[in-house]
Amino acid sequence: MNKQSGAVSLFVVVFFMLLVTVVTVSFLRLMLTDQQQATSSDLSQSAYDSAQAGVEDAKRALLKYRKDCLSSPGACAGYATSLTTSECNAALNGISGTGAVGPNGSTDEIMVQQSLTGNDVSLDQAYTCVTIKLDTDDYIGNVSANQSQLVPLISVGAFDRVRIEWFSKEDVTSSGSTAAVSLSPVSASGQPLYTQGNWPLNRPPLMRAQLMQFAQTFKVDSFDAVSGTQSNGASMFLYPTSQSGIPERIMTDYDQRKTGPTDNPNPKDALTTPTAVSCVTSLTAGGYACSAVLVVPPAIGSINTADRTAFLRLMPFYNATHFRVTLWNGPVNLANPSVKFKDVQPAVDSTGRANDLFRRIQSRVDLFDTSFPYPDATIDLTGNFCKDFAITDTQYIPGVSACSP
């Protein structure tokens, strides 16, 4: 009996030791897994930061390109060819110090350094490949509610149509599995306007699209004039609805700057309601909920559709939105490729490295002409505005009473 009792105790001890061993090994495995995940996460962030460093150097190259083009317009095409080469980091020559040597003695990658004189090999961070594309198929961005974004319509070739798409899956507050979009049905009495708080949360915003353009011969008062089919401006309010799609709209026919049948700029009857735009009710497949194709009139005094300097001002009301703008010459369809933007929003492709982990990012850079800053608004305010004076063509008339906004 004593021998049998001792055997039972031995088995208990063995099984207990096995249990302790399994728990210890499992705990160590969890610790090692967590450590590996933390290391990988840290390296991933470092590689991302390295790629961002490449984007920042690309911005410097783009600024230098803009400066060189302004000082030597005749050589601008040559600068553009050098900048948009497909060879990794070649566009950054003379900009970011491509003489930095990597840990393997190669100059193909550019080390991320804390100073120009040092070579921080211990960080083992670099961006391996940066390329720049000046001409892009579209202009993309996002804008807050009741704020505006000015898009220069500078193209590689002539264009006569602009397609505006807005409200992506990123703008849906509770996407879930269906990415449902709230829309308003078409009303026979016009599209209803709401107070800010009553606009549905997941409804695409009411989008204001404002065209401003001029030809080589230009007068300030021509912004409020229409000459046949030519016009220098138009303003449309695009209202998201569930109606069937309309192929395109002529901007001068839907211009809402006028207040009566005889008022400039358009002699047609006044439009009293926003323009209904077809939108989808689900963004599960991606893309944008709303899309509108606007036919852009020739500028007053222009010889052809290429003879224009044009800007598109987008302003969403009620909700924030992501948007996409594309240019077309002729109908918008798969058989007719879009017209590229030229030097408006270059695309930067950058790959960063940290040790043996790589991250690749693609960014857009707004390449606005710094010699001509575009004004967002003359007066932009959220409260009341009090004007206690008047100006005519010949005189200034001061106010006669105290102004209480």
200-221: pLDDT as tens digits: 888 899 999 999 888 877 777 7
Report field, pTM of the whole predicted structure over 0.85? no
Where in 186-273 does DSSP place strands (E)? Answer: 206-214, 226-227, 230-231, 233-241, 249-250
> What mean pLDDT comes out for the span 380-387?
68
Residue 254 confidence (pLDDT) above 80: yes
| Cα distances (angstroms) measured from residue 379 to each of 44, 196, 398, 404 | 45, 21, 20, 18
Q: 288-325 burial, b for 16+ CB within 10 Å, e for fewer?
A: bbbbbbbbbbbbbbbeebeebebbbbbbbbbbebbbbb
What pLDDT was estimated at residue 229? 79
What pLDDT was estimated at residue 377? 62
Residues 6+ apart with CB under 8 A from 346: 62, 132, 133, 134, 136, 364, 365, 367
Name the least confident of 46-50, 92-96, 242-246, 289-293: 92-96
Averaged pLDDT of the chain: 79
What pLDDT was estimated at residue 177? 47
Residue 247 confidence (pLDDT) above 50: yes
Q: 352-372 burial, b for 16+ CB within 10 Å, e for fewer?
A: bbbeebbbebebbbebeeeee
Confidence bin at 17 (pLDDT 50/70/90): confident
What pLDDT was estimated at residue 180? 64
What pLDDT was estimated at residue 270? 47
> What mean pLDDT comes out for the span 270-277?
73
DSSP letter string, 392-403: -SS-EEE-SS--
What pLDDT was estimated at residue 5? 59
Q: Look at strands 288-295 and 396-398 and give their pairing.
A: unpaired
Can you tell me which residue has the tokens 């450590």?
A: 35
Residue 269 confidence (pLDDT) above 50: no
Backbone phi and psi for residue 236, each to the nearest 5 degrees, phi listed first: -125, 145
> What mean pLDDT comes out for the span 247-274?
65
**pLDDT digit string (tens) for 139-195?**
999 999 988 899 999 999 889 999 999 999 888 886 454 556 777 666 666 677 788
Residue 328 confidence (pLDDT) above 80: yes
What pLDDT was estimated at residue 260? 44
Task: Specify the 3-state DSSP secondary structure of 266.
Answer: coil
| Cα distances (angstroms) measured from residue 227 to each of 141, 264, 267, 299 | 33, 11, 11, 9
Contact (CB, 8 A) for 52 and 350:
yes
- Smallest Cα–Cα separation from 171: which of 287, 51, 12, 38? 287
Residues 6+ apart with CB under 8 A from 165: 287, 288, 290, 291, 323, 324, 325, 326
Higher pLDDT, 178 or 53: 53
